[in-house]
Structure 1
Amino acid sequence: MTAVLPARAPGAAAPLPPAAEAARTGLLRACARFAGRWSLRALVAAAVLAFVGLALGPHVLDYRTMTMLTGSMAPNIEPGDVVVSTPLDVSDVEVGMVITYHIPIDDHRVVTHRVIEVDHTADGTVSVRTQGDANDAPDPWTAVLTGDTAWQMRAVVPEIGNAITALRDPVVNKALVYGAPALLAGWMLLSIWQPVRDEDDEDDAEADRA
């Protein structure tokens, strides 16, 4: 009697042996666990760095941050971007620089605009005229830079200002206050429990092979 083996379609891959299939499945699961674990750690690290850089950094290091609220400096600075400014001697302010300062009228709000004119008086006072890159006309005021220090824009962090604004929402703020500690505790417990589960999986695999 002659046994007839089923013919394999041309180009079809040979089926993997059960042991090889199990090994491949185990490898995929291990890779997924590894990726999930380190993705969570990277997310936590990024959140901590952003908090340190934007919330704590300006209090301990020599720079300031400000969220752009309007499109007056587009496209270089869009609404929601965070402007990072560093100190500069007032006497060194020049035409073409982008500076952050308090306007001399209305609510004395802070703006970040480009210097288009600088005037140095005999008594050392420095006054400037500015204009937003996206505006058709100069700002309708002349600002006197008080003190010895001006603030020059050095970097722009895109979009993160929108996240900061969202975090100030009362509902989101409460969720972070109560939810963040719970997530951190869960992450720590998962880190402790995960190796034990891996060892149990290995013991079960050895028992199946036996």
Structure 2
Amino acid sequence: MDTPVWKRALLATGWCIRGLVVTTVLVAVAALAIGRFCFDLRYEPILTGSMSPGMPTGTLVALRSEDPSHVTTGEVIAFKPPKPYGEPGGAPVVHRVHSLTKSADGSTVMTTMGDANPVPDPWKIDLSSGTYRTIEFQVPYVGTVITTLRSLGMLGCCAIAAGLLLLYAAARSLRRPLPEAEPAEARNGAVA
């Protein structure tokens, strides 16, 4: 019994879509890895709405190291806030440089502010210490996926992968046609 043309077309479309999704994911992962190891990019999700609407919560930003002497007013940068505002090992803050001033000892001091915030941040940052990164590009919504995967940890990722594999196996078994039953005489070797 031949499979109808519409069903073959539907199956072929499904395989094409799956292939496209897998290829897209692999290319995206490869691009992120190349950016990380070849161009010293770091990736961080935007965790709050302080940079909305330009960078809403869940946006993934690619960050490149910046020489502190090149930081300018109006530039969006990532940095670790000073104590007591920041926590060791905590996520960097991504905010716009609000002002640059010279301190009494001649060092440059930076004040930052989120685009959606009504007032500048409470901290003053001495640019002579610390690491600063500028935004190379941003991808909306991808940061939400990264944040979710980080919060679940490796065990969660493995559980999700195993669950997806089980769903895939179940879907494949449902797609297979059932074998046709043989007449009882054919099984016993009887000839009609």
1:75 alignment partner in structure 2? 53
What amino acid maps onto 1:29 in structure 2?
K
1:166 matches 2:166: no
Distance 1:176 1:65 in 2: 23
2:70 alignment partner in structure 1? 92
- Higher mean displacement: 44-53 or 34-43: 44-53
CA-CA distance at 1:82 after TM superposition:
1.0
Higher relative contact order at CA 8 Å, sep ≥6: structure 1 or structure 2?
2
Cα pair distance change 1:48/1:182, threshold 3 Å: farther
Secondary structure at the aligned position of 2:62 is classed as: strand
1:142 alignment partner in structure 2? 124
TM-score (norm: length of structure 2): 0.69
TM-score (norm: length of structure 1): 0.64
Distance 2:34 2:167 in 1: 22
Cα pair distance change 1:62/1:141, threshold 3 Å: same
1:178 alignment partner in structure 2? 162
May I ask how many residue pairs the two structures share in their alignment?
165
Secondary structure at the aligned position of 1:40 is classed as: helix
Cα pair distance change 1:175/1:64, threshold 3 Å: same
CA-CA distance at 1:124 after TM superposition:
7.8
Query: Of 154, 158, 161, which aligns to 2:136?
Result: 154
Distance 2:161 2:105 in 1: 52
1:58 matches 2:36: yes
Secondary structure at the aligned position of 1:45 is classed as: helix
1:99-118 CA distance string (max 9 Å, x none): 00011122344100000112
2:20 alignment partner in structure 1? 42
